[in-house]
Structure 1
Amino acid sequence: MNKNRISIVILAAGKGSRMKSSKAKVLHTLSGKEMLYYIIKSSSEISDDITVVVAHQKDAVMKQMCSYFDDINFVVQDDANFPGTGGAMKNVSFKHEKVLVLNGDMPLVIPESLLPFLQTKSQIVMSIFDLQNPDGYGRVIIENAQVQKIVEQKDASASQLKVTTVNAGIYAFSKEILEKYIPLLKNDNAQKEYYLTDVISMARADGVAITPLLVDEELFKGVNSKKDLSHAEEIMQERIKTRLMDSGVTMQLPSTIYIEESVVFEGECIVENGCRITGNSKIIDSHIKAHSVIEDSTVKNSDVGPLAHLRPASNIEDTHIGNFVEVKKSSLKGVKAGHLSYIGDATVDEGTNIGAGVITCNYDGINKYKTVIGKNVFIGSDSQLIAPVTLQDNVMVAAGTTVRSGTIQSGELAASSAKLRIIKDFYYKFFAKKQL
């Protein structure tokens, strides 16, 4: 659509005390991204003029959003002198004649849900929905299909609290309306705050028509608590997995699977129940088996799990990763690691077999070191590779061997197992002593 029709202001200055957290409200995450990220992403699809108003933990909020977006304007609210939603608008300027005001705690808003605000010629459009339990929301008084006034819950009378039509918190204003009424806002209310909703009251008193717009509660309901956050997470997960399944990904019991927004799938992929795939992971023509965890890793033409863990910066190609195998910051190509192994800070080349219980000992308590394993290497069960160590092509490592720092040359066998000792009747002698 044409992005030159509307300016968008996102209010992201609040503390979010009901979240019971030291973290700024808009920085709480769902499906791997902060709440504020989602509303900016949706906004950027319909507007080329986006302003985010910040105050609480403003540096952290701006730094995180700048890591995703490079064309966002930030305005710091003077929260000491001008608190509240109206105060947040004091120093905001607008590029276009129509201004959409959004909240940073509405991560479920999608671009399509914002289009009706643009399609009316009214000078003020405000979103509403009806709730069985309207607690926490400003009540909207409507007569003759026009909004008469909005009463914040903190200032509502007993009769007004019974109203179930509530303010969904999103408005479209003409630039003229905001420039006229924002300077006139006062804080003569119970909380001594400047309310953006008072613009509605003043404009209505001057005869300006305010058009209510009924919106989908699921899309526009704000996240005000950890419980709200968990509910939003469920909805976001459903969206993400539906999109992926529509694109061809097979999911078994998808309700048990967690996949973050940034994960990419290509080709024929299967994800079994109980899996968790996060970060910038990329899954290509692969099968992720039950209860596996993949973090910031790439899996191509491979199978992983069940019960495997790929930690960040792992690259798996043409490889079998079995149950209870953990891989961290390693590249494996054409490898078999069937079970019960840890591979960290390593490169492993094609044709190599890693036996059960094999561990790359990559950390000495201060520094981490690399393990390099060549082609067609056979590593017996219960072996330890103490990095930095290199196993060249065509090497064998006997079961139970500890390979210390250095290089095992091509064609060699590394074996450090002690010779088996047999002590006759030891069992009987040992337990006879225990009984005395």
Structure 2
Amino acid sequence: MKKSVVILAAGFGTRMNSNLAKPLHTICGKSLIKIIVENALKLADDVTLILHHQAENIKEHLKDFNNLNYIYQDMTNHKGTGGALISYEPKNDEVLILNADMPLITLKSLEIIANTKADIVLSTFNKFEKNAYGRVIKENNKITKIVETKDANDEELKCTLCNAGIYKMSKNVLKTYIPKLNNNNAQKEYYITDVIKMAIDDGLMLCECVFDELEFLGINNKLDLELAENIMQDRIKNELLINGVIMHNKSSIFIELDCEISNDCEIESGVVIKANSKIKNSKILANSIIENSIIENSSIGPMARIRPKCVIKESKIGNFVECKNAKLEEVKAGHLAYLGDCEISSGVNIGCGVIICNYDGKAKHISKIGKNVFVGSNANLIAPISIPDDTLIAAGSTISNKDAKKLVAKDLFLERSKGVIFNNFKDF
């Protein structure tokens, strides 16, 4: 049966102590709301977000998703989880209700909830220490109600079965009971949990799914955010290790969501790999950073920085080398170089201290270096520039494209200020 998904994202998130809306905070390189939305779209063809605080900022953040619906919650008259659903009209007969601040719930668990047959499916977990979660109250092993912590009496607070806050309900349940909600409680809010009590009293079928507590960690403050990121990091790295990636000092490595790292890659301590990077059959040495780039059959680092839009294949990039928007194939850059906005062909050696001067103060320019070129230490290549194959640039040279146009195969350029050009290596 087709499902609808509604995501509750209207809250103010005051405990975050931030000017940024809570759903826009990130873990492992991705916002909380995007993590939830991506899972929702794998489950349903009808996804709606309930917004209020910083609604336009959230919509702008999600603009690449062109198949989302939005509703604005009236926080003056209809506060609370039940109030959020007063104007909601699902397209399909079954509705999965999610929260924008619970990024750790797995797709597998959501599928279990979505595919369980009942009028209402309730997600729960056991927590034995004192906590602020709503309690799931049972009599004769049957759920009779859910009580919010601030409304619970001492006996109810002893209950260890907690409401996880994710539900599946039929469209008919929402249509019947949401209009009957009231806000006669300590918070003066409309609770979706009151729907469950009314449905139970009317004899509807209720099913409970028990999960691990960590999947339902809600993000209320920056401490929760950091904890959630650590949990997600363990998931990411454990999966990679099981699939054959080698890691040294796993706890010091940081890998964002949406990275692809093939088996037999080796990652040393202190490495950071950011979202959308793809690494195949390569070794990433200590304290290197890779951002949104492709690395194949290469060695990177130690202490190298590969900035976005790099494609590096069959190459060795050493310590303190920075690359940005660089396409390198069979290139050696051992140390202390900046290779920005460039295409470098096979057999090229980049000496220590080489700088590609890609920015003229107004715009970035592309540099192209042909095959089998040797660029000596402390050379400056002023973009835009094109260096022909089989050229040797002597140490300390600074050349522009005007100089480079004088070069032919097997030329050597020495000291731009004197303009000395040798026509052949043997002449030198």
Tell me the SS of whatever aligns to 1:40: helix
Alignment correspondent of 1:77:
73
Correspondent of 1:15 among 4, 8, 12: 12
Distance in 1 (CA, whole Å) between partners of 2:389 and 2:3 is 63
Distance in 1 (CA, whole Å) between partners of 2:288 and 2:371 is 27
Alignment correspondent of 1:54:
51
2:408 matched to 1:412?
Answer: no
2:260 matched to 1:261?
Answer: no
Alignment correspondent of 1:342:
338
Give the C-alpha shift of residue 278 in structure 1.
Answer: 0.9
- 1:136-185, Cα deviation, whole Å (9 max, x unpaired): 32233322223333332344455544544322101222222211111112
2:183 matched to 1:187?
Answer: yes
Q: 1:319 to 1:168 in 2, by over 3 A?
A: same
**Match of 1:38, as an amino acid?**
I
Correspondent of 1:228 among 224, 235, 242: 224
1:27-426 equivalences in 2 (<5 Å): 27-67=24-64, 69-118=65-114, 120-157=116-153, 160-208=156-204, 210-266=206-262, 268-408=264-404, 409-410=407-408, 411-416=410-415
Deviation larger for 239-248 or 115-124: 115-124
Tell me the SS of whatever aligns to 1:406: helix
**Structure 1: where are the runs of 5+ without partners?**
420-436
**Structure 2: where are the runs of 5+ without partners?**
419-428
- 1:233-280, Cα deviation, whole Å (9 max, x unpaired): 122122222222333322223222211221123464222222111122
Tell me the SS of whatever aligns to 1:330: strand
Distance in 1 (CA, whole Å) between partners of 2:139 and 2:192 is 21
Tell me the SS of whatever aligns to 2:378: coil
Distance in 2 (CA, whole Å) between partners of 1:343 and 1:5 is 51
Tell me the SS of whatever aligns to 2:40: helix
Give the C-alpha shift of residue 338 in structure 1.
Answer: 0.3
Distance in 2 (CA, whole Å) between partners of 1:115 and 1:389 is 55
Q: Is the 8 A contact 1:312 1:329 kept in 2?
A: yes
Q: Is the 8 A contact 1:390 1:407 kept in 2?
A: no
Alignment correspondent of 1:424:
none
Distance in 2 (CA, whole Å) between partners of 1:284 and 1:307 is 19
Distance in 2 (CA, whole Å) between partners of 1:117 and 1:144 is 24
Alignment correspondent of 1:434:
none
Distance in 2 (CA, whole Å) between partners of 1:280 and 1:240 is 14
Distance in 1 (CA, whole Å) between partners of 2:367 and 2:107 is 48
Q: 1:140 to 1:372 in 2, by over 3 A?
A: same
Distance in 2 (CA, whole Å) between partners of 1:63 and 1:146 is 44
**Match of 1:174, as an amino acid?**
S
Q: 1:159 to 1:286 in 2, by over 3 A?
A: same
Distance in 1 (CA, whole Å) between partners of 2:36 and 2:274 is 20
**Match of 2:279, as an amino acid?**
I
Number of residue pairs aligned between Structure 1 and Structure 2: 415
Q: CA RMSD of the aligned region, Å?
A: 2.4
Distance in 1 (CA, whole Å) between partners of 2:110 and 2:393 is 63
Distance in 1 (CA, whole Å) between partners of 2:403 and 2:136 is 75
Q: Is the 8 A contact 2:146 2:196 kept in 1?
A: yes
**Match of 2:415, as an amino acid?**
S
Alignment correspondent of 2:22:
25
**Match of 2:6, as an amino acid?**
V
Give the C-alpha shift of residue 369 in structure 1.
Answer: 2.4
Q: Is the 8 A contact 1:285 1:302 kept in 2?
A: yes
Deviation larger for 139-148 or 280-289: 139-148
- 1:313-340, Cα deviation, whole Å (9 max, x unpaired): 1111121101110011111122110001
Give the C-alpha shift of residue 417 in structure 1.
Answer: 8.1
Give the C-alpha shift of residue 384 in structure 1.
Answer: 1.8
Tell me the SS of whatever aligns to 1:9: strand
Give the C-alpha shift of residue 356 in structure 1.
Answer: 0.6
Q: Is the 8 A contact 2:243 2:263 kept in 1?
A: no
What's the TM-score, normalizing by structure 2?
0.89
Tell me the SS of whatever aligns to 1:237: helix
Q: Is the 8 A contact 1:9 1:101 kept in 2?
A: yes
Q: Is the 8 A contact 2:344 2:368 kept in 1?
A: yes
Tell me the SS of whatever aligns to 1:390: strand
**Match of 2:280, as an amino acid?**
I
Distance in 2 (CA, whole Å) between partners of 1:53 and 1:87 is 10
Q: Is the 8 A contact 1:391 1:407 kept in 2?
A: no
Distance in 1 (CA, whole Å) between partners of 2:209 and 2:20 is 33
Distance in 1 (CA, whole Å) between partners of 2:11 and 2:141 is 32
**Match of 2:59, as an amino acid?**
M
Q: Is the 8 A contact 2:217 2:228 kept in 1?
A: no
Identity in percent: 46
Distance in 2 (CA, whole Å) between partners of 1:270 and 1:227 is 31
